[in-house]
Structure 1
Amino acid sequence: MINSSEFVIQFWGVRGSIPAPGGETVRYGGNTSCLEMRVGGKRLIFDGGTGLRVLGKQLLKQTPVEAHMFFSHSHWDHIQGFPFFVPAFVPGNCFHIYGGVAPNGATMKQRLSDQMHHPNFPVPMQVMKSDMKFHDLMPGDVIQLDDITIETGPLNHPNSALGYRVTWQGRTAVYATDTEHYPDHIDENLVYLSRDADVLVYDACYTDEEYHDPQASKIGWGHSTWQEALKVAQVAGVKKAVMFHHDPNHDDDFLDQVESEVQTVFPNSLMAREGMILPV
């Protein structure tokens, strides 16, 4: 059962691009993007990277399950856990699934189904026997789940992505991955989405040095840096900033160093860690 008086975030996958298992990533985790918000008695799941499989194993102990699943976009590191999300195969469970419509018109239902078509996967999505209800979103749409308000906003990412702002009883958490900052101005859409938030979970895949590396520039790849994350947090009046979507090449020691630098600039900030539970 979910505590009807709590608002907490639990991180099930904090890595970007591709899973990065191994001895050098055990402290921060190697699973790709997935986090859960337990808000006012409801379960909200954001993105379905490989961390979703781990969350699914926990949910099997709590059936029947009802959850609202929000996808930022459908690049593989955000959907590759969905075919392995065992609760979706269990009759009696119910999942409300939300996502944007791709520039080519493909809905989230189509894209989740496509990755499970032969020869990519042995079983189609139709084998999932839970009750799945799909909802198409456009940037700016607002979803109301009883007294929980979920706002959406556009992110700067190839093929588009959505950011989400969750507000309940005066407390707000923002999930904004994957997005790239602009070279000459701050993203006003992102600032508005993050305004006065208690927690901002932000795509801090790179350092500024990596992003601008003349030999291996990351400009145009659709991701941001921790330095830009803190600019958004400061301008938007965010109380706590969480660096998310860690590059698969960044090991635990590297992320320790980044966290030290991040906290020097913005003391109320931290690196996302797999398994971490953060009250809002």
Structure 2
Amino acid sequence: MQEKLTVRFWGVRGSIACPGLHTVRYGGNTPCVEVQAGHQKFIFDGGTGLRVLGQEMLKHLPVEAHIFFSHTHWDHIQGFPFFSPAFMPGNRFHIYGTRGSDGKTIEKRLTDQMLHPNFPVPLQIMGGSLDFYDLEAGQIVEVEDITIRNAILNHPGGSIGYRLEWQGLTVSYITDTEHFPDALDPNVLALADQAHVLIYDATYTDAEYHEAGNSKVGWGHSTWQEAIKIAKAAKVDQLVLFHHDPLHNDVFLDDIGRKAGHQFTNSIIAQEGLSITLTPNGQSSLQYAELGRAISSVPDRA
């Protein structure tokens, strides 16, 4: 079987989980993205979508994976205490993150959220093997023939974006970042440069971001219009709009998808159940699990 790279979306919302009748199609879980590169598994962020991914992993025990956290705001870590495979001996997880502005390690931050009275059992109850790594800004992590780069993003309290490279394929995970008013963020451009898949924070529309009396300037998030600027400047193949505002229902996101598609053809809205599969020879496809339809996407690079 030919090796391939697959990106799967388990949680696509920002701020707070928002299940309900009006968010069924795109999903209500907070950020969690899985990347399978060859036989290695990577997970980006541990929002409530991580619980769902964990249930799927129970079908394929034992498991080993590398978990990279962009930062430790609640919507990006609140699935970790409910990540079933981590409680089971025989499973192994390598967990990465930068120190926060207060100097706390990723291990300390994940431990703290599971302390009484916030959670009934401590992290130490987890029976799986957990290895924690403190990343420095710009540090490169290599796992066999896979390279993961990072860069600082523009977000209150700090956040980092990631770039995964494997056999000529690149996936960029850039969420919880606010664009600059007068120029494109050079860190974002470096992470996104010629990526085959760019996952980008598109929490707001430009109108919401600049809304008189309710401005989102300084809140640490970007817009779908800015995402398209980055995608064009970085010459990416596929743009995935991510970290949806909990107030944006399915109909609202449908409208954003149509508008974004007119400005950048290969742009889609992140959706729970969406898989993007790439192969080193340039073949690729999208698969919407719930809708059961595959769509040709991500053109061969010239």
State the one-letter code of the partner of 2:155. Answer: H
**Cα distance, 1:30 vs. partner?**
0.3
Q: Give the match for residue 127 of structure 1.
A: 125
Which amino acid in 1 is paired with 2:229?
A: K
Deviations 1:60-104 (A, max 9, x none): 111111000000000000000000000000001000000011111
Aligned amino acid, residue 252 of structure 1: D
Q: Give the structure 2 partner of residue 36 of structure 1.
A: 34
CA apart distance, 1:4: 7.1
Which residue identity is paired with 1:166? L
Matches of 2:217 and 2:2 in 1, distance apart?
A: 43
Give, as a single letter, the amino acid of the residue that structure 1 aligns with 2:102. N
Match of 2:197 among 199, 208, 225: 199
Q: What SS does the corresponding residue of 1:110 show, helix, strand or coil?
A: helix
Q: Deviations over 1:157-210 (max 9, x none)?
A: 011111000011001000001100011111011101111110100000000000
How does 1:180-195 map onto structure 2 within 5 Å? 180-195=178-193
Contact 1:203–1:245, Cα closer than 8 Å, also in 2: yes
Instruction: Name the counterpart of 2:70.
Output: 72
Q: Is contact 1:24-1:252 (8 Å) kept?
A: yes
The answer on whether the counterparts of 1:39 and 1:168 sit within 8 Å (CA) in structure 2 is yes
Is 2:233 the partner of 1:241? no
Using the alignment, how far apart are the partners of 2:238 and 2:55 within structure 1? 29
Structure 1 contact 4–39 (Cα < 8 Å) conserved: no
User: Against the structure 1 CA distance between its residues 237 and 65, is the aligned structure 2 distance closer, same or farther, given a 3 Å change threshold?
Assistant: same
Q: Normalising by the residue count of structure 2, what TM-score does the alignment of the two structures yield?
A: 0.91
Structure 1 segments of 4 or more deviating over 6 A? Answer: none
AA aligned opposite 1:70: F
Partner of 1:104: 102
How big is the alpha-carbon RMSD for the aligned residues of Structure 1 and Structure 2?
0.8
1:1-280 to 2 correspondences below 5 Å: 5-280=3-278
Unaligned runs of 5+ in 2: 279-302
Residues 152 and 112 of structure 1: CA distance in aligned 2, closer, same or farther (over 3 Å): same
Distance apart, 1:106 and its partner CA: 0.5
Look up the match of 2:299. Answer: none
Which amino acid in structure 2 is aligned with residue 40 of structure 1?
G
Count of residues in correspondence between the two structures: 278
Q: In the TM superposition, what is the alpha-carbon distance from 1:134 to its structure 2 partner?
A: 0.3
1:154 positional shift: 0.7
**1:4 to 1:39, Cα distance in 2 relative to 1, 3 A:** farther
- Tell me if the contact between 1:4 and 1:41 (Cα under 8 Å) persists in the aligned partners: no
CA deviation after TM superposition for structure 1 residue 152, in Å: 0.6
Give the structure-1-normalised TM-score. Answer: 0.98
Counterparts of 2:209 and 2:30, CA distance in 1: 21
Q: Per the alignment, in what secondary structure is the counterpart of residue 134 of structure 1?
A: strand
- Give the letter for the 1:111 counterpart: R
CA distance in structure 1 between the partners assigned to 2:198 and 2:32 by the alignment: 15
Residues 68, 97 of structure 1: 8 Å contact kept = yes
Q: Could you tell me which runs of 5 or more consecutive residues in structure 1 were left unpaired when the two chains were aligned.
A: none
In 1, the alpha carbon distance for the partners of 2:109 and 2:270 equals 27
Distance 1:141 1:227 in 2: 30
Distance 1:4 1:89 in 2: 33
Helix, strand or coil at the partner of 1:152: strand
